[in-house]
Amino acid sequence: MAAQRPRRQPTLDEVAERAGVSRSAASRVINKAPHVSRATRDAVERAIKEMGYLPNRTARALATQQTGIVALAVSHDDPELFADPFFAQVIVGVSAALEETDLHLLLCLASSVRGRSRLTNLLQTRGVDGIMLMALHGDDPLTHIVRRAGLPAVYGGRPLNFEPQWYVDSDNLGGARLATEHLIGLGRTRIVTITGPMSTDVGRARHRGYREAMIMAGLVPYATAEGDFTEAGGAAAMKSLLDSHPDLDAIFAASDDTAAGALRVLIDAGRSVPADVAVVGFDDLGKAERTDPPLTTVHQSVQALGREMTRMLVGLIAGHEPSSVILPTKLVLRDSA
């Protein structure tokens, strides 16, 4: 297996020469531009086939000022966080949508300071045509960079302290309401919630959904404990709630991980689920099916999130003015409530 000689790719000039036409004519054929005679087209197409010509991406990018690449930035402090299945789903959605275009995906895990500055540089040096950002703090320097770069940008989820012009988000508020209403419909009244971090929009929205549903049903929000979307956080919160409100009869957890943690604590405390305590989670990213008992939860389609973000970005790049999207969530009934 000798190292194959990297045969130099033929250039447009060579193709044109072989076809006996000018470079401009050849270019027109390739770009399916008008004003090309049948004869010219045929000649060029034959030359292309014979020589195995393929236009050089970089050269084209320089001429058109379009790289054909979009970035997906995940700007988190902890690189491990990327291991969350959430991101995998986003990427699958993004990739699927991108497959219908000529664009490619550049993935930026910008957790460290160095990572961020690399990303910044990428944007400022016009290395990509647009960028998708997974919700980061509104005061993240990245948001400024992105705005100053004047690059098309869409957000996945909303940062807390500013409303991006273009974003795609799940209907967290509606989903939380749905979950709570379901518990109410079950006849539960002492319904508590374990929230996500209140420093995030998701956390707040899901909490508000809970409160609104309670209040609209004429109930008082029975108790609230702040979690952090993790299983450990859910367990801790559950313990303190069980302490302070031992008679609770239902719980809305802001994530499935949270719910899983709560579930464990409940079982350990001898409560049976759903008989004594009904539990509803949020996310439905696989884990909900594997808890014991399987979790009734609010489903959000993360792939759809990725897909819509991509479509929106592609639209922006094409010069359209898309409008932000909120994706529906729905209740999935399993055994825990």
φ, ψ (nearest 5 deg) of residue 116: -65, -40
Residue 176 DSSP label? H
> Would you give the binding string for a copy of itself spanning residues 82-111, x where CB under 8 A is met?
xxxx-xxx-xx--xx--x--x-xxxxxx--
Pairing of strands 325-327, 167-170: parallel
The DSSP H or E segment spanning 93 is helix 85-98
The interface mask with DNA, positions 63-102, x = CB under 7 A, is: xxx-------------------------------------
Q: How far apart are CA 280 and CA 298, in angstroms?
A: 8
User: Looking at this protein, which amino acid is placed at residue 278?
Assistant: A
Alpha-carbon torsion (116, 121, 126, 128), positive or negative = negative
Q: Does 286 bind a copy of itself (CB under 8 A)?
A: yes
For a copy of itself, the closer of residues 3 and 35 by Cβ is: 3
User: Phi-psi bin for 140: left (phi > 0), alpha (psi -120 to 50), beta?
Assistant: beta
Q: Which range binds DNA by CB under 7 A, 26-34, 116-124, 169-177, 179-187?
A: 26-34
Joined together, the tokens standing for residue 137 give 């703090």
> What is the rounded CA–CA span in Å between residue 99 and residue 104?
8
Residue 24 contact among DNA, a copy of itself, none, beta carbon within 5 to 8 Å by kind: DNA
Residue 275 binding target from DNA, a copy of itself, none, CB below 5 to 8 Å by type: none
- Which residues 20-79 are close enough to bind a copy of itself by CB under 8 A? 54-59, 61-62, 67-69, 79
To DNA, the closest distance from the beta carbon of 4 in angstroms equals 18
Interaction between residue 165 and DNA (CB under 7 A): no
Beta carbon of residue 334, minimum distance to a copy of itself (angstroms, whole number)? 18
- Ramachandran assignment for 250, one of left (phi > 0), alpha (psi -120 to 50 degrees), beta (any other): beta
Q: Tell me if 150 contacts DNA by CB under 7 A.
A: no
When CB distances are held under 5 to 8 angstroms depending on the partner's kind, the choice from DNA, a copy of itself, none that residue 328 binds is none
Cis peptide before 221 (omega within 30 of 0): no
Residues 243-262 that bind a copy of itself (CB under 8 A): none
For every residue of 203-253, DSSP letters joined together read HHHHHHHHHHHHHHTTPPP-EEEE--SSHHHHHHHHHHHHHH-TT--EEEE
CA 226 remoteness from chain centre: 24
Q: Which of 99, 115, 102, 103 is nearest to 71 (CA)?
A: 103
One of 12, 71, 225, 238 touching DNA (CB under 7 A): 12
Residues binding a copy of itself: number (CB under 8 A): 56
Mark the segment that binds DNA (CB under 7 A) among 57-65, 67-75, 81-89, 150-158.
57-65
Strand partners, 332: 297
Q: Is residue 334 within 8 Å of residue 288, measured between CB atoms?
A: yes
Q: Select from DNA, a copy of itself, none the partner in contact with residue 40, using the beta carbon and a kind-dependent cut-off of 5 to 8 Å.
A: DNA
Q: Closer CB to DNA, residue 83 or residue 318? A: 318
The entry of a copy of itself, DNA, none that residue 217 binds, CB within 5 to 8 Å by partner kind:
none
- Shortest gap between Cβ of 22 and DNA (angstroms)? 3
Residues at the contact surface with DNA, assessed by CB under 7 A: 8, 11-13, 20-25, 27-28, 30-31, 33-40, 53-56, 59-60, 62-65
Residues at the contact surface with a copy of itself, assessed by CB under 8 A: 1, 3-7, 9, 54-59, 61-62, 67-69, 79-80, 82-85, 87-89, 91-92, 95-96, 99, 102, 104-109, 112, 114-115, 118, 121-122, 124-127, 147-151, 165, 286
